Amino acid sequence: MQSASFKISNYKFTKTLLDFSFYKEGEIDVSFAVSGTFIKSRSIFELRFAIIAKSEGITEAFVSVDCESIFEFTNVSSLAEVPDYFYTNSIAILFPYLRAYVSTITVQSNIRPIILPTLNLSDLNGPLKQHTNEID
């Protein structure tokens, strides 16, 4: 059996919210949401990755970004054949794009740029698996 390989073929930012009335200098709480769809007929995986940033102690987000990406597979024809390492690696591949985008949009807003730290997001592989479905 040949091993599966994949590559990112496209990504786009589908939703961006900036509301600095909810921004306060200091600590930032960052959360993530991930989900996916494996399209069998095309052997592609659509990954949706959202980031939400809130100032500490404030319930409303001052930054929210949704990103959609396409990963193409070779040697994979069903969701069951998607290797476990894909879930962790796909998030790790996409996160630098999200991180750079957040920095760019905040610096262009003429405020102190929000620079998200480099993070180990391997804990998101479980939620991504759980929130992935398969379609023909």
Domain carrying residue 113: 5-131
As to burial, measured by CB atoms within 10 angstroms (0-12 exposed, 13-18 middle, 19+ buried), residue 101 is middle
How many structural domains are present in the chain? 1
Placement of tokens 């991504």 in the chain: 128
pLDDT of 2: 58
Per-residue pLDDT tens digits for 10-46: 999 999 999 999 988 888 899 999 999 999 999 999 9
Residue 136 falls inside a structural domain: no
Q: Which stretches of the chain score pLDDT less than 70?
A: 1-2
CATH of the domain at 29: 3.10.420.10
pLDDT of 114: 86
Contact 95, 121 (CB under 8 A): yes
**C-alpha dihedral sign at 55, 62, 132, 128:** negative
Residue 51 falls inside a structural domain: yes
